[in-house]
Amino acid sequence: MKRILWFRRDLRVEDNPILSLSGEVLPMFIFDSQILNSLVPDDKRVSFIFDGVVKLKHSLRSKGLDLKIYWGDPVEIFAVLESQGFDEVVASGDYDAYAKERDIRVSHILHFRYLHDTYIFNPAEILKDDGTPYLVFTPFYNKAKALFSKEHLHEYTFGEHTLYLTSYEGITKMNDNKEEILPLDMGSIGFTENLPKIDEVETKLKALKKNLPIYTQQRDFLDKEATSHLSIDLRFGTISIRSLLRFLVEQKKEGVDTEPFFRQLIFRDFYAYLLFHFPTLATHNYKYRFNGIEDEEKYRAFCEARTGVPIVDAGIRELLQTGLMHNRVRMICASFFTKDLLLPWQWGEKFFAKYLLDYDAASNILSWQWSAGTGIDPQPYFRIFNPYLQSKKFDKEAGYIKKWIPELRSIDAKKLHDENYLLNYTIEAYPKPIVVHKEASQNALAYFKQRL
């Protein structure tokens, strides 16, 4: 069997299903020009991916293989490869709209074989008794726990391969069916290096082992490091979901309560599952006719961290500077965006998609629909976070706020959680809140009721 092994969201050698297949293989990665063309030259994610691809290439070489790196339109690349006698293309599944459409087009050129890898469960694995998908998380979670078995912990071993004979040097640019070999550096694909400072997976696992006993109590607090920080590794497959599950099993054997963290992994599956079964969620509400009110001035203030609400502005600054944002802050910002500012959730989703290092279409889209109250979540539209109460509860000493907004470091923490103070006192170089939360909440509820 002569196969193309197409790496995508699985930038690793260990426990990789596509590398468990034996035979003559062409391992490859494509810097998709259809995606890259919409990104800024210093996009941090491209640097992270490029670094991961180079590391993957070295790892494959150490095992007698190599990685051919392309830059171009995947459909055009496979149209050229089709004439070289390959029996099939093998890749792990990807469920967002663009990926599914791209893969269908590729499957019309060469036989396309999906291997399940990115999530714990296959989207068709957890269904109600009538064969329809679950719409509520708790029943989904209970069914997932009932179906979870040793098979979901399976570790894939490295197959016996023969490397397909071709040039693996540099980056192969494909344009109008013509190949051009470029140097193996980011400049070749039109980007500048902007590699984010991120710990290695092993370091994160050590920290997670330490934090699992306090995960439930501390994960929402912004001055604690109880979260795993593994979302970007799961997004790009620098760690396999199965190896993380095996890690949890070992911790459980040592008496650690791993259920809360396992539940979060199932939640990640649930969002991917929903987007797979209901692809229109990517752009359209599941319920209600809430479209938001388009207001460019409010949108710019939010995106530029000029709302005058410290916890919101701190979150946006963290996002813009690092590509990261604590999950609790994501919820606070999204609620403020969709309820206090009444902006369309699709605008917020695209903004986060532009900057989040760990951007996952399913998780981002469904989280924004959750905040907007328009998604599959059964909670009605009237769930509105008070950003001041949220910051007081989860950032009591304002350590997170002051870290990202240094002009507020001299202000007493209590005042940064006090909307009246922020509205009535002038702080040098920092704006007053652009809305009054109580008034904005009432306006939002009136707006939603009118459109029921």
Which whole-number Å values give the CA distances from 279 to 75, 96, 272, 349, in the listed order? 22, 8, 10, 15
Asked if residue 452 has pLDDT above 80, the reply is no
**361-386: average pLDDT:** 89
pLDDT value of position 201: 95
What are 71's strand-pairing partners?
31, 173
Residues 158-192: tens digit of each pLDDT = 999 999 999 999 999 987 778 899 999 999 999 99
Asked if residue 295 has pLDDT above 90, the reply is yes
Closest by Cα among 359, 361, 100, 136 to 266: 136
pLDDT value of position 159: 95
What CATH class is the domain 296-450? mainly alpha
User: Which pLDDT band, with edges at 50, 70 and 90, does 226 fall under?
Assistant: confident
**For the domain with range 119-152+201-277, which CATH number is right: 2.160.20.60, 1.25.40.80, 1.10.940.10, 1.50.10.10?**
1.25.40.80
Residues 93-142: tens digit of each pLDDT = 887 888 989 999 999 999 999 999 999 999 999 999 999 999 999 999 99
How far apart (Å, rounded) are the C-alpha atoms in residues 419 and 388?
Answer: 7
The stretches of 148-277 forming alpha helices (DSSP H) are: 201-211, 215-218, 231-236, 241-253, 259-277
How far apart (Å, rounded) are the C-alpha atoms in residues 266 and 141?
Answer: 7
Rounded to the nearest angstrom, the gap between the alpha carbon of residue 46 and the centroid of all alpha carbons in its chain is: 14
Ramachandran category for residue 66: left, alpha or beta (phi over 0 → left; psi -120 to 50 → alpha)? beta
**For the domain with range 1-117, which CATH number is right: 3.40.50.2300, 3.30.300.30, 3.40.50.620, 3.40.640.10?**
3.40.50.620
Asked if residue 12 has pLDDT above 80, the reply is yes
Residue spans of the domains in the chain: they are 1-117, 119-152+201-277, 296-450
How far apart (Å, rounded) are the C-alpha atoms in residues 443 and 435?
Answer: 11
pLDDT value of position 322: 94
Measure the CA angle with vertex 62, ends 56 and 65; round to 5°.
75
User: Which pLDDT band, with edges at 50, 70 and 90, does 287 fall under?
Assistant: confident
pLDDT value of position 225: 73
Asked if residue 76 has pLDDT above 80, the reply is yes
Lowest-pLDDT choice from 62-66, 232-236, 354-358, 378-382: 378-382
Which whole-number Å values give the CA distances from 450 to 288, 349, 445, in the listed order? 11, 24, 9
- Secondary structure E strands in 34-139: 68-72, 88-92, 112-115
Tell me the chain's radius of gyration from C-alpha atoms.
23
pLDDT value of position 97: 85
Asked if residue 291 has pLDDT above 90, the reply is no
User: Which pLDDT band, with edges at 50, 70 and 90, does 380 fall under?
Assistant: confident
User: Which pLDDT band, with edges at 50, 70 and 90, does 41 fall under?
Assistant: very high
Closest by Cα among 157, 239, 165 to 198: 239
Lowest-pLDDT choice from 62-76, 282-296, 352-366, 417-431: 282-296
Average pLDDT of the chain to the nearest whole number: 94
What are 69's strand-pairing partners?
29, 171
**400-425: average pLDDT:** 97
Asked if residue 321 has pLDDT above 90, the reply is yes
pTM beyond 0.95: the answer is no
pLDDT value of position 216: 87
**254-278: average pLDDT:** 95
